């Protein structure tokens, strides 16, 4: 019997009596990170990283949460479980499972580059590695964060010269906080949408240091936004809520912005390929550094990435999961870039 099985509720470790990121309610859930396609409601027990808890509380309400630090080993039914930094967002972790000398690692979502906020991705040696593949195509090749941050700041300055407010579209959990690492350097007021404000509050209350932002309210005078910075989630794109910022320019921050067509389709004035997922080289590097002899590839370009791994001599197979599909239950249709990126 495999240490982890792929069931209709999610990744199941029968020996340990728990699931990892289950998409239906279970007795015991181990959570990689707080995005809604990985952390779902309905389970009786949630194990997660210390910094992840506040976000889970915000999203799922009060539950039986149990937190650990990275590298801290706990035993579940005789199976050793530990969490290791995944670099995807605050509190995001890979899950390492060891039983009778066999080691499996579930990556959750991850990126290799240290963003200075989410913890530095740690390669964990294992026999079997379960990896995501959101950007599992060689066209996805990220520039270093500092270069993208520079482009972002330059763009704001150019907008100001044209008398425009800079509106960034960024996921409220993860990308928005990342933007706050570079935007304060411009010394301009930063206004955020309510969803981002809530995440910001949850994180700062739990003790994470973040720069000050202002919440966008109905009574905020429109003049306050002029020439300044706005951060809004993808749902705000093209909605009437945006009208208050006129005249403005929209910059979308997402790995999908690597391709011109996506920028144009989203009607963005600028696209910044700032991603919280590993790019092609990052995925390959991660697989290599785990030393795994067997790899399962989940959400993303799983067929392509697993085929490529097989051709390089690694035993690899694709696995269907419900990750990368956050808004599936909503009737609101979404295209692929949203499906996967809003999960970050």
Given the rule CB under 8 A, which residues bind other proteins? 137-139, 141, 256, 258-265, 267-271, 301, 304, 307-308, 311, 333-337, 339
CA 152 to chain CA centroid, Å, is: 20
Q: Give the nearest distance from C-beta 127 to other proteins in angstroms.
A: 27
**Cβ(92)–Cβ(109) below 8 Å:** yes
Cβ-based nearer residue to other proteins, 69 or 335: 335
Parallel/antiparallel/unpaired status of strands 18-20 and 10-13: antiparallel
Q: Give the nearest distance from C-beta 20 to other proteins in angstroms.
A: 24
Q: Give the nearest distance from C-beta 270 to other proteins in angstroms.
A: 6
Q: Give the nearest distance from C-beta 138 to other proteins in angstroms.
A: 6
**Cβ(226)–Cβ(244) below 8 Å:** no
Cβ-based nearer residue to other proteins, 91 or 300: 300
CA 17 to chain CA centroid, Å, is: 26
Q: What share of the chain is helix, strand, coil (3-state, %, to 5)?
A: 30, 25, 45
**Which residue, 89, 120, 90, 121, is CA-closest to 105?**
121
| CB-side neighbour CA atoms (13 Å) of 20 | 29
CA distance 274 to 108: 19
Cβ-based nearer residue to other proteins, 139 or 223: 139
What does the CA dihedral 242, 33, 48, 27 come to, rounded to 10 degrees? 100
What is the 8-class DSSP label of residue 71?
T
Contacts of 262 (CB under 8 A, 6+ apart): 256, 271, 337
CA distance 306 to 313: 11
Q: What is the 3-state secondary structure (H, E, C) of 243-306?
A: HHHCCEEEEEECHHHHCHHHHHHCCCCEEECCCCCCCHHHHHHHHHHHCCCEEEEEEECHHHHH
CA 327 to chain CA centroid, Å, is: 15
């Amino acid at each position: 019997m495999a240490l982890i099985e792929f069931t209709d509720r999610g990744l199941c470790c029968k020996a340990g009596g728990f699931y990892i990121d289950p998409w239906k309610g279970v007795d015991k859930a181990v959570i990689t990170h707080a995005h809604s396609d990985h952390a779902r409601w309905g389970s009786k027990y949630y194990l997660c990283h210390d910094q992840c808890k506040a976000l889970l509380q915000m999203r799922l309400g009060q539950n039986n949460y149990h937190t650990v630090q990275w590298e801290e080993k706990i035993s579940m039914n005789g199976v050793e479980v530990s969490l290791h930094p995944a670099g995807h967002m605050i509190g995001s972790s890979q899950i390492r499972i060891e039983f009778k000398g066999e080691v499996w690692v579930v990556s959750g979502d991850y990126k290799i580059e240290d963003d200075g906020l989410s913890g530095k991705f740690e390669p964990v040696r294992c026999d079997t590695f379960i990896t995501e593949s959101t950007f599992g195509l060689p066209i996805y090749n990220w520039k270093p964060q500092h270069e993208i941050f520079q482009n972002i700041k330059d763009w704001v300055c150019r907008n100001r010269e044209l008398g425009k407010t800079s509106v960034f579209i960024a996921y409220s959990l993860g990308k928005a906080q990342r933007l706050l690492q570079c935007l304060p350097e411009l010394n301009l007021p930063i206004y955020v949408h309510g969803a981002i404000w809530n995440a910001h509050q949850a994180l700062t209350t739990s003790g994470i240091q973040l720069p000050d932002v202002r919440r966008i309210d109905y009574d905020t005078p429109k003049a306050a936004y002029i020439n300044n910075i706005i951060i809004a989630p993808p749902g705000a794109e093209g909605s009437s809520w945006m009208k208050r910022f006129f005249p403005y320019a929209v910059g979308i921050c997402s790995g999908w912005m690597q391709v011109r067509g996506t920028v144009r389709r989203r009607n963005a004035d600028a696209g910044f390929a700032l991603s919280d997922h590993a790019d092609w080289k990052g995925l390959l590097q991660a697989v290599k550094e785990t030393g795994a002899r067997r790899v399962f590839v989940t959400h993303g370009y799983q067929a392509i990435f697993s085929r490529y791994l097989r051709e390089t001599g690694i035993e690899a197979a694709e696995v269907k999961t419900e990750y990368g599909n956050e808004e599936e239950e909503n009737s609101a249709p979404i295209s692929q870039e949203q499906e996967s990126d809003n999960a970050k």
